[in-house]
Amino acid sequence: MPRTSLPAWRSLAGRSRQSEGGRSRRRPVDCCPVDDWRSYDGVAEIYERVHAPRMIEPARDLLAMCEPPSGGRVLDVGCGTGAAVALAQELVGPSGLAVGVDLSLGMLRVGARARPGARLAAASAIDLPFADGTFDVVSASFVLSHVTKYETALFDMLRVLRPGGRLAVSSWADGDRDELQTTWLELVEGVVGQELLDDVHAQAVPWSDRFADRSALEETLVGAGLRHVRTERRQYRWVYALEEYVEGLETWSTGRFVRSMLGDRSLEGFRRQVRAVFAERFANPVNDFRDVWLAVATKP
């Protein structure tokens, strides 16, 4: 069947891991909401309002590096509210197909409201519900550092990528914490303590240090069997109203943990403290400079 005549995007799924006798060995993905701090469900609307308009910038640069073909197929893993999916659909055109998957039903629901035409589905990065060799490009923005079994996630991303297709990933680059981050973490530590704060970080982003390092990122991609690995370091400047920046901190893993730990009354008190400290230390608007690794590699 010609690539441009797919009847529906759901036809891309299935037949991906066949056991003897032709029956699929794939287990259904558990897409029930996770009712704890690790889930983005409760902060999805904040993410869409505060961060999605800014996170689209590195996503745009990442897609530009991998040059998805007109009429091609793109999968965005860990798509959040789907901003990069909508952008990828524009790039591949009406005869192409862009699909996004994420584990957070809250993020997907907000994305479906914000982008009614985006094709979004609930799925795990380590168990993608698509057939082998389906996509020309698979992207994953700021995803690998969150996945405990990142090797498994890479294996499945490469499984659904066609030979000659490109994998595109991004991660926060190494560097010292700036004053904005330091101030926030000091405030959180005052509530939860350093030991618990370290545990939250280890659970939420177990591989942040690894993928902040260029050599380790390239080594990981080469070790997964990819070729022609290309990495670039980009710096982004995001301007926030002070109130907006402080609100956006609640989408961070530390912010989600504090939200889950404090009752409504205590949480509101903490929010007032954070707003007061940031207003005292920083100008309004806030300029947030972040360095990012963009990496693209080819499946042999």
pLDDT tens track for 37-56 = 989 999 999 999 999 999 99
Residue of 58, 210, 175 whose CA lies nearest to 218? 210
Q: Considering its fold, how many domains does the chain have in total? A: 1
- Specify the CATH number for the domain of residue 155: 3.40.50.150
Residue 70 pLDDT exceeds 70: yes
In a domain? residue 12: no
pLDDT digits (tens, 9 = 90+) for 190-209: 999 999 999 999 999 999 99
The span from the first CA to the last CA of the chain, in angstroms, equals 23
In a domain? residue 84: yes
In a domain? residue 65: yes
CB burial of 253-270 (b: ≥16 within 10 Å; e: otherwise) equals bbbbbbbeebeeeebeeb
In a domain? residue 182: no
Residue 35 pLDDT exceeds 70: no
Q: Do 134 and 160 contact (CB within 8 A), yes or no? A: yes
In a domain? residue 170: yes
Residues 6+ apart with CB under 8 A from 165: 133, 135, 136, 137, 138, 298, 299
Q: What is the value of pTM for the model shown?
A: 0.89
In a domain? residue 134: yes
- Concatenating the DSSP letter of every residue in 219-282 gives HHHHHTT-EEEEEEEEEEEEEE-HHHHHHHGGGSHHHHHHHHHS-HHHHHHHHHHHHHHHHHHS
Q: What amino acid is encoded at 23 in this protein?
A: R
Residue 30 pLDDT exceeds 60: no
Cα(241)–Cα(275) distance, rounded to whole angstroms? 12
pLDDT digits (tens, 9 = 90+) for 207-257: 999 999 999 999 999 999 999 999 999 999 999 999 999 999 999 999 999
In a domain? residue 17: no
How many CB atoms within 10 Å of residue 138?
A: 28
In a domain? residue 262: no
pLDDT digits (tens, 9 = 90+) for 109-162: 999 999 999 999 999 999 999 999 999 999 999 999 999 999 999 999 999 999
State which residues form the domain around 34.
28-175+205-239+288-298
